[in-house]
Amino acid sequence: MKNKFCNFLGNGLYISNSSSDLKIAPCCFYQNPTIIQNLNDNLSNLNLQIEKLLNDNSKKNLSHSACNTCILQEQSGIASYRQSSFSYKSHTKNEIVALTIDIDRKCNLACASCNENDSSLWYKEKQKFGLPVKDSVITMHNENTTENLIKIIDAILQLDLSKIEWIKFGGGEPLLSTSHLHFLTKLSEKIDTSNVTVNYTSNYTVIPKHNVFDIWKKYKKIELSGSIDGVYDQFYFFRWPFKFEKLQNNIKVLYDNCPDNVEFKIEHTVNPLNLYYYDELEKFLLEKFPSNKFGVPNYINIHPCWGHLGLESVNQKVLNLTKDKLGSDHKVVKLAEQVCDSTELNTKYLDNLDQMRQTNWREIFPDIEKYYV
């Protein structure tokens, strides 16, 4: 098809299970996924459902509201996922080129921007404090066993993956469990993976073992994207209970020990609290980790936060202060301008986090906290 809007519409597949159902979509940012209910009963139909999704997306390869994240990024001058989709070859409708597997919710962090749907530690924290959790989420965590994950992965391995160029693992923390390793090992037994790039969105708490490095060497490139939303106490507040000093140490160990085909990237989620401090993160990364040991520059991928810390809640005065500090053409400012509306930041949520974790968000973000009441 000529003049495609996005190469992932028809050749991209995202698979996620953030409740007891399975979600499939062309990519992780697509806002109108297909839901497959009662996963265990429908696992044998997965191929048919995926084939239908790829066909439908291929026929309607147009800009629409479900692609709003990419549209906003591009309007803010930020490179979008849609644009990156054209770095992969375009194939006929049923051939998967880019695959995201986002099914394993094991996580050792309970990030301020996250919740019990995506993190097993958040789920445990909610139970510890007697906070309500939906039945579907309880079921999902109960069923997030290695045995069940392997069943889903084996079903994915039945798909035609002969044209695959890029695989992404989401989470949870994907390096905490063995499901990624199971998939990569089996895939490397089925197809030539020397042209396949693998991407992990990781919290950088885990240093992989040598058996992981051995499998990684069978692939073209490994992109290790670390989620870093701030520095020092701000990092700790967002990525609780991971200390910034430990993060710095882990980055160094990863740099020194990962195989030569590993490239490091930073995923930065912009929210109403960290917007003003973006220059501090950039300064830290430029000074300490400008490139990997082979001189490949580290890339900072910026996107808006949604949920409790949604960027739409940025206060106008905070936005103006950030403009004064970073400049009105700065990509972070432009992103916030695209997203912000009159929604108020939920400060009660932040106060509750403080109570649960003995933090003090108002002391941690002293320049801007007074604008959030």
The pair of structure tokens assigned to 124 is 């445990």
Are residues 332 and 275 in contact, defined by beta-carbon separation less than 8 angstroms?
Answer: yes
Closest approach, Cβ 7 to ligand SF4, in A, equals 8
The alpha carbon dihedral of 277, 282, 287, 293 has a sign of positive
The correct pick among 16, 85, 234, 292 for binding ligand SF4 (CB under 6 A) is 85
Output 70 or 175, the one with its CB closest to ligand SF4: 70
Q: Compare residues 79 and 150 and give the one whose CB is closer to ligand SF4.
A: 79
User: Of 3-11, 33-41, 157-165, 244-252, which segment contacts ligand SF4 by CB under 6 A?
Assistant: 3-11
Torsion of CA 228, 230, 234, 235, to 10 degrees: 20
Sites for ligand SF4 among residues 27-56 (CB under 6 A): 27, 29-30
Alpha-carbon distance of 95 to 164, in angstroms, equals: 8
By beta-carbon proximity to ligand SF4, the closer residue of 239 and 334 is 334
CB nearer ligand SF4, residue 74 or residue 282: 74
Q: Binder to ligand SF4 among 82, 168, 239, 334 (CB under 6 A)?
A: 82
Q: How far is CA 114 from CA 4, 11, 245, 294, 319, in A?
A: 33, 29, 22, 33, 23
Count each helix (H run) and each strand (E run) in the chain, helices first. Answer: 17, 9
Min dist. Cβ of residue 50 to ligand SF4 (A) = 15
Distance, CA of 334 to CA of 311 (rounded, Å): 12
Q: How far apart are CB 83 and ligand SF4 at their closest, in Å?
A: 9
22 or 70, CB closer to ligand SF4? 70
In this structure, what token pair is assigned to residue 22? 């399975």
Q: How many residues bind ligand SF4 (CB under 6 A)?
A: 13
96 binds ligand SF4 (CB under 6 A): no
Question: For the chain, how many residues are written?
Answer: 373
Tokens of 188: 């490397």
Binding site for ligand SF4 (CB under 6 A): 6, 8-9, 26-27, 29-30, 67, 69-70, 81-82, 85
